[in-house]
Amino acid sequence: MLKRSLPPRIIFTILFIAVFTSMLGIGIVAPILPLYAEQNLAASGIWIGLIFSGFGLSRTIASPIVGRISDVRGRKNFLIVGLLGYALTGLGYIIANNVVLLTMIRFANGFTSAMVLPVSQAYVGDLTPKGKEGTYMNTFMTSLMVGFGVGPFIGGWMFDNYSAASAFYTMAALSAIALALVIIFLPNLEDIKRNLSSTLEKRAVSTTGVKPSVRNAWKDPHVKGIMTYRTSVGLSRNALVSFLPIFLTSKFAASATQVGIILAIFLLLGALLQPLMGVASDRFDRTKLTIMGMSVGAALLFAMPFVPSLEGVLPLVILAPIFSAAAEAPALALGTEAGRKHGMATVLSLYDTAMGIGMVGGPLISGLFVDNLGINSIFYLWGVVGFIAAIICHLHLRGKNNKTLQEKPENVKIVEKGTSE
């Protein structure tokens, strides 16, 4: 076991490696699950939508509850249960021999996801120095994005050369490794707060004394703004994860390996850009960055059906993560700021809940559109929704920029570190 005097930078590294490992396993399964459901279980578009929506529904239900309790009772136990659940559901996919059972297992996977991502982000939020929300949180997000980015390439290759079961076993094994890292090395939340005084940064923020409140967070217009953004991302991104493999295979006769490569390029490029955009969000107007990223991203999504060939998909795949990161980085920084006022995991779980709402609606609505209007219709739909969400987000976030970083949030304790500014 590590000592309780472990510095926050090392704790950050432990979390980074654990989340990367678990997300690598999830990413391996992502591109093959819709193909597996369609080819092996004869799933229709609506059933594929239900499989992915079930995940989002359970995650949406669990996230605010988990976030609120972890702000009060601590985070480590939730991470342990969540990662254990990842390992078990990976094995569960292997025994799913019909779409109903696959949907049920995917539903259970959503509950476990609510215990991993927002809770791990809250850990990092507790370690983040004031004024560095964009840098720290988005550097941490690369663990998720790189893991989820490399995964599709591996998963597609496994599907083409071995079987879907090999990918599911790999997910279970990687989740078990991440679980062991957390159990052995990660300190409890109380130890993290105790160690804030020994961080190498000049200043950090402790949320000790902040009373977590979902109600107050809901009333905050800036929380509403980032939730609007996150919901729109959930709608479009999870619709694409569900149906982009089918779009590419049906329109361009792409193999599972090619689908995995395309998804990997998108996700890995976004992961590489995330820390850079995080630094930018600490220096420039976060609202403007968010709205710009949302607007251009919506235009790129709308343009997808007009691509004439598989090679023509690549320019969109390269441009999309640039503007996705430009929106994601400042939105996450704004969420971290709000977390200091209303409870770190409370706000970040609402951030995750907004994504969950999109995860429920996106695949289900897309399944209906695909079955009745064809695969191209979902790109038009979510492109238009993205533009509307950008307008709504702007109305909530206007006037919110980096100048607020100089203000001391209410109920937040600033912890000075030896040297003065």
Q: Find the range with the poorest average confidence among 202-206, 221-225, 322-326, 330-334.
A: 202-206
The predicted-structure confidence for 388-398, as pLDDT tens digits, reads as follows 989 988 888 87
- If you search the block for the tokens 């999830």, which residue do you land on? 26
Q: Map out the domains of the chain as residue ranges.
A: 8-190+208-406
Which residues are within 8 A (CB) of 199 and not within 5 positions of it... i.e. 6 or more apart?
7, 8, 9, 127, 129, 417
pLDDT tens column, 240-258: 767 788 888 888 888 877 8
pTM of the model: 0.63
Distance CA 70, CA 73 (A): 5
pLDDT band at 193 (very low <50, low <70, confident <90, very high): low
Task: Categorize the per-residue pLDDT at 414 as very low, low, confident or very high, splitting at 50, 70 and 90.
Answer: very low
Quick one: DSSP state of residue 4? T
Residues 43-75: b if buried by 16+ CB within 10 A, e if exposed: bebbbbbbbbbbbbbbbbbbbbebbbbbbeebb
Cβ partners under 8 Å of residue 59, min gap 6: 110, 111, 113, 114, 352, 353, 355, 356, 359
Which helix (H) or strand (E) element contains residue 415? strand 413-416
Q: Is the dihedral of CA 120, 166, 85, 214 positive or negative?
A: positive
Q: Which residues contact 183 (CB under 8 A, 6 or more apart)?
A: 80
CATH number of the domain located at residue range(s) 8-190+208-406 in this protein: 1.20.1250.20
- Which residue's entry shows tokens 């599911």? 168
What pLDDT score was predicted for residue 21? 85
The per-residue DSSP string of 288-301 comes to HHHHHHHHHHHHHH
Q: What is the pLDDT of residues 104-135, one digit of tens each?
A: 998 888 888 888 877 887 778 777 777 776 77
**DSSP label of 253:** -
Yes or no: say if 383 and 299 are a contact pair by the CB < 8 Å rule.
Answer: yes
